[in-house]
Homo-oligomer: A and B are copies of this chain.
Amino acid sequence: VEAQLLRTFVAVARLASFSAAAAELGYTQAAVSQQIAALESDLKTQLLNRRPVTPTEAGTRLLEHAEPILLRLDAARTDVTRMTKTPAAKIVVGVTPLAGATSGLAAALAELRNRMPRLAIAVRTANRAEAAIAVARGELDLALTDGLTAPGDPLPESVPVTATGLSEKPVRIVLPRHHPLAGRAVGLTDLADARWIAADNVAPPLKEIRRHAATDGFKPALRYTGEDITTLINLAAEGHGLTLLPESVLSDGRVTSVAIAQPRLSHRIELIHTSLPKRSPAATLAAILSER
């Protein structure tokens, strides 16, 4: 199985068209047709139905492998290439909104700028899933992500990158001031039927919360798709629903919060990176971030 055939295969499958894939990859239709034919004859299995173009069962199976393989090929290239390249003049850091708000990112960047004044720095927001892939592909040099975790720490990655835990802080449920629950500690499952705010970009997604509570419920009463934490806190303050945030961002006087007695959850910030060549700007920044 050669890699180029897989690339073409996933393109065809994704676009559901030989011609579209050809256009995207810079081939002619015929070439794409031949490549798919070669792949199918190599595996002695039909992978795609034609008209309309649709993966067969075997094709679906192959797709499940092909995507990670191609991602890892990319990862290998960027990983090896980074070893040689002259310490880049630019560093691109991906940050999930909450990770940016809570970690010492800004301070770390200041220190990095001190040590390497000529370095161009770009900070980009990203979500957790995209971030890991982008780092693997070399589109990002580093990423700071956040998420909920239970005490036993899996650190799971199906993507060929390394995640280093930077901090694990308690999370609290945000309430309007003077809310009856204020001050107590509650079990998470007790709140499964409360009004919740779905703010997947800023707060832990409700889906995550459901997973940790091992319950249904946590249905969204309001959905906030923005990325601003102050807005989210305002919404919570006005009683539009509950949300879950690390205590470090809850200095705002308009809200109060309660701890969670069960299950024991934390908000973890992770640094996502490839094995970093020493002396690269990314490694320097990673070192600075890790020291907090």
Contacts and interface: CB of A to CB of B under 8 A. Distances in A.
Contacts of A80: 43, 45, 47, 58, 61-62
A69 to B, nearest CB: 5
Nearest to A277: B57
A66 B76 contact: yes
Contacts of A253: none
Nearest to A56: B83
Contact of A44 (B65, B84, B156): B84
A154 interface: yes
B72 A76 contact: no
A49 interface: no
A117 to B, nearest CB: 28
A43 B78 CA distance: 9
A61 B80 CA distance: 6
B45 A83 contact: yes
Interface stretch (A1-9, A16-24, A88-96): A1-9
A69 B65 contact: no
Contacts of A1: 3, 73, 76-77
Interface in A73-120: 73, 75-77, 79-81, 83-84
Please tell me how many copies of the chain the complex holds: 2
A76 B62 contact: yes
A225 to B, nearest CB: 32
A152 interface: yes
Contacts of A57: 83, 277
A183 interface: no
Interface string A49-70: 0000000011001101110110
B81 A44 contact: yes
Nearest to A154: B154
A164 interface: no
A2 B70 CA distance: 10
A231 interface: no
B72 A69 contact: yes
A34 interface: no
A152 B43 CA distance: 39
Contacts of A65: 72-73, 75-76, 79, 160
Interface of A: 1-4, 43-45, 47, 57-58, 61-62, 64-66, 68-69, 72-73, 75-77, 79-81, 83-84, 150, 152, 154, 156, 160, 275, 277
17 contacts: A2-B4, A43-B81, A45-B83, A45-B84, A57-B277, A58-B80, A58-B83, A61-B80, A61-B275, A62-B76, A62-B79, A62-B80, A65-B75, A65-B160, A69-B73, A72-B72, A154-B154
Given A1-B77, A72-B72, A154-B156, 7 more contacts: A2-B2, A43-B77, A43-B80, A43-B81, A58-B84, A65-B76, A65-B160
